[in-house]
Every structure is written in structure tokens, then in C-alpha cells.
Amino acid sequence: MWLFEDSCVICDAAANGICSSCVDQLVTAEPPRLLDISSVTALFSYEGVGAQLLQALKFKNRRAVLGTLVDALCESLPTDVDAIVAVPGHPVRVRERGVDLPAVMARRISRRLDIPTAEPLLRIDDGSQMTRDRSERLSIEFRAVRSAPHRMLLVDDVVTTGATAVACADALRLAGSASVSFAALAATPAPKFTHQGAVS
Ligand SMILES: [Zn+2]
């Protein structure tokens, strides 16, 4: 199943892309529920091998592994979708790492499910953000350039709180979308509560 690459992206064992023992260590994702997003799908949890896998995909160009993961994700995606759009990456970070994972994922899902990609969202990130305090800097805004199709699938590599996905969904609705679903490869694990009620 894992084709075309001769060593495991995680442990360097001889394997096609990723070895079976690393695959076995992936934890099933429990993606967050997000306000006004009709469905949230994620493949594995962003912890342990899952976190290493995402880092490897971001910083090495391992298209075969990425392709296989995206194909697995496609098995669980809603198909009543008119168009697919990626969460726009931060331009500086995309340049540094060389792989714009959400964009690559969106193109692959588009081909696989035979659903077109939509005009990319714009990330509104003016220079003034650098001088604001942390809480303000976290509120990133997005804008759709053209009117957005009725039913959208939004794609990102990893979902944490989902704030970015919700901001993108807001932009799509402003541009005319009636429903937005969301898919990511990985979801950060939900906070665990101890018996004292503390969050770790
Ligand atoms: Zn391995």
C-alpha cells in the first residue's frame, strides 16, 4: 500500500514510505466540533508517531506517503461538495518549508473525488500584525476573492482549536457558501482531565 519510497519516513527502517510498526502506532483522531462547520474529519491524532509524521511531511517532500494518507482521508469525506479550498499557509513559513501541505492535499482530494478546487482564500496579514499583542495577532482573517460555491470542503494539514478553520468558513459564507465541511490529516488530542480536574 505504501509505495515508491524505500525507507520509513519515521524510523528509517526499510519500508515503502512508512513501516507497518509506525502505522500501528498512529492514534485515531478525535477531531473537535467546530461552530458552523457541518462536519470535521481527521485521520490520526497529532501525538507521538502522528506528530512526527506531520513534521516529516512538512519538511521533507514525501509525496507518496502524503498521497496515501490523503487517499485514506478521502474514504471518510463527505461527497456532497461543490468545491475544495485549502487553508492558506503563512507565506513566509511556506517558503521556508517548501511544501504547502494544505494546497497539495486540496489538489489531491480534488483529483481523487473529482470535485474542482475553488479560487484560493486570501490571508489578510498586514505588517501591523507584528506590533500587536499576542491575542490580537492570533485573530487572523481570511477573504474569498470571488463568490464561493454553495457547498465547500475546507482542507488543512492539522487542526488544533479549529479557530483558523472557523475564520476561513466565515470568509466562505460571506462570499456566498451555504455549508462548509472541514478535513485535516491530523487533529491535536483533546485536553485530558485528571481526577483533580486540571487540564494537561
Ligand atoms: Zn517506521
pLDDT tens digits, 12-44: 898 878 899 999 999 999 999 998 999 999 999
| DSSP letter (8 states) at residue 15 | S
**Collapsed DSSP state (helix, strand, coil) of residue 118:** coil
Q: What is the pLDDT of residue 74?
A: 97
Summarize the confidence of residues 122-142 as an average pLDDT: 61
Rounded distance between C-alpha atoms, residue 145 and residue 133, angstroms: 28
Summarize the confidence of residues 176-200 as an average pLDDT: 80
- Measured in Å, residue 184 CA sits from the centre of ligand 1 at 22
- Measured in Å, residue 190 CA sits from the centre of ligand 1 at 25
Query: Over pLDDT 70: what percentage of the chain?
Result: 82
Domains and CATH numbers, the chain: 27-187 (3.40.50.2020)
Q: What is the pLDDT of residue 21?
A: 95
**pTM exceeds 0.75, yes or no:** yes
- Measured in Å, residue 51 CA sits from the centre of ligand 1 at 13
Q: What is the pLDDT of residue 97?
A: 65
Rounded distance between C-alpha atoms, residue 187 and residue 45, angstroms: 5
- Measured in Å, residue 129 CA sits from the centre of ligand 1 at 40
Between the alpha carbon of residue 131 and those of residues 126, 127, 128, 134, 164, the distances in Å are 10, 8, 6, 9, 21
- Measured in Å, residue 21 CA sits from the centre of ligand 1 at 6
Summarize the confidence of residues 132-158 as an average pLDDT: 79
pLDDT tens digits, 67-89: 889 999 999 999 999 999 999 98
Q: What is the pLDDT of residue 175?
A: 94
The pLDDT of residue 9 is above 70: yes
Rounded distance between C-alpha atoms, residue 111 and residue 115, angstroms: 7
Q: Counting beta carbons within 10 angstroms of the beta carbon of residue 120, is it exposed (0 to 12), middle (13 to 18) or buried (19 or more)?
A: middle
